[in-house]
Amino acid sequence: MGYRSGMVAIVGRPNVGKSTLLNHCLGQKLSITSRKPQTTRHQIMGIYSAENGQIVFIDTPGMHQQQGRALNRYMNKAATASLIGVDLVVWVVDATNHTDDDDWILDRIKKADLPCILVLNKIDCVQEKTQLLPKIDAYLKRYPFQEIVPISALKSENIDVLLASILERLGDGAPLFPEDQLTDKSERFLAAEIVREKLTRSLGQELPYALTVAIEQFQEEKNCLHIGAVIWVERDSQKAIVIGKQGRRLKQVGQDARVDMEKLFAEKVFLQLWVKVKSGWSDDENLLPQFGYHE
């Protein structure tokens, strides 16, 4: 097999492990993750380069039928748009739980008429692996998948099998990006995402969906990267929760984010965080672009 390359969209409903899968395919953390659904809000390109080929992954927000707020509609559009102009689709499902949203996504894949590899994720949660056989058979009756690969993204089980299967189905071609490039996203974008991940993991169920992060300062000074980030929420009561008692939560978020940033950027980071209020930002289509949510 000669050198192969191509664009591959990773799609699936919220919380099936798409971002965890991307990170383990790349061998390092790029997409932020949490146990809360819809942590990923943007298309994120992750570039896997090997001796025999290059896979340009497009990680996407979770696709779902209910549109909800303007931010939800934006995420659905971003995920659906990933099915345009790619060479292959990797559809990730939860091996323990099939839902109506999975059926809805399969309809989108059928309409796109693209070659598709089905990934049954979270097999580490399946006690008897023989239980997977009727699931695989049922999926095969619904679409001519190129292959069905059971994996555990969290435990990196069968990731090498999946990568080999993807490369095998891409066309011959030169690398699409330099082999040392990891993503098309800027360092400012990645810094904002790291802060949002730490907030999402430390807050309750609802509040993470009412906040976003914008980087207002990103500059090198005396061998130290100075980063200033604004955390936007929708109400004063949310601002108080994010800051925490005597500022403890905000301080902890800053410390955790700084550690990840120093690993990613490979240099010392000085991070400052502020919390500001913008009422109704997540349901205002005119405001979304101001917070980095562009069509």
Domain of 269: which CATH number?
A: 3.30.300.20
Is the domain of 145 the same as that of 8? Answer: yes
Q: Do 115 and 242 belong together in one domain?
A: no
| Within-domain flag for 254 | yes
Could you tell me if 239 and 275 lie in one domain? yes
Asked if 193 and 82 sit in the same domain, the reply is no
Per-residue pLDDT at 4 exceeds 90: yes
152 plus 87 within the same structural domain = yes
Going by C-beta distance under 8 Å and a sequence separation of 6 or more, which residues neighbour residue 16?
A: 62, 92, 93, 94, 121, 122
Among 168, 198, 216, identify where a domain stops.
Answer: 168
pTM: 0.91
The 10 Å Cβ neighbour count of residue 37 is 16
CA distances for 194 relative to 10, 29, 124, 279, angstroms: 21, 10, 27, 23
The predicted structure's pLDDT at residue 295: 65
Residue 178 lies in a domain: no
Q: Residue 213: what are its φ and ψ, rounded to 5°?
A: -130, 135
Same domain? For 123 and 19 the reply is: yes
Residue 276: band (very low, low, confident or very high) from pLDDT cuts 50, 70, 90: very high
Q: Which of 17-31, 98-112, 156-170, 281-295 has the lowest mean pLDDT?
A: 281-295
Residues 205 and 143 occupy one common structural domain: no
Q: What tokens does 80 get? A: 């659906």
Q: Determine, yes or no, domain membership for 177.
A: no
Cβ neighbour number for residue 44 with a 10 Å cutoff: 25
Helix, strand, coil shares, percent, the chain, to 5: 40, 25, 35
HEC-encoded secondary structure of 188-230? HHHHHHHHHHHHHHHCCCCHHHHCEEEEEEEEEECCEEEEEEE
Mean pLDDT computed over 52-66: 89
61, part of any domain: yes
Q: Please tell me the predicted confidence (pLDDT) of residue 115.
A: 95
Range of 211's domain? 187-291
Total domains in the fold of the chain: 2
Inside any domain, residue 27: yes
Residue 64 is predicted with a pLDDT of: 79
Tens-place pLDDT, residues 132-149: 999 999 999 999 999 999
pLDDT, one tens digit per residue, over 142-188 is 999 999 999 999 999 999 999 999 999 999 999 999 999 999 999 99
CATH of the domain at 14: 3.40.50.300
| Amino acid residing at 229 | A
Same domain flag for 20 and 60: yes
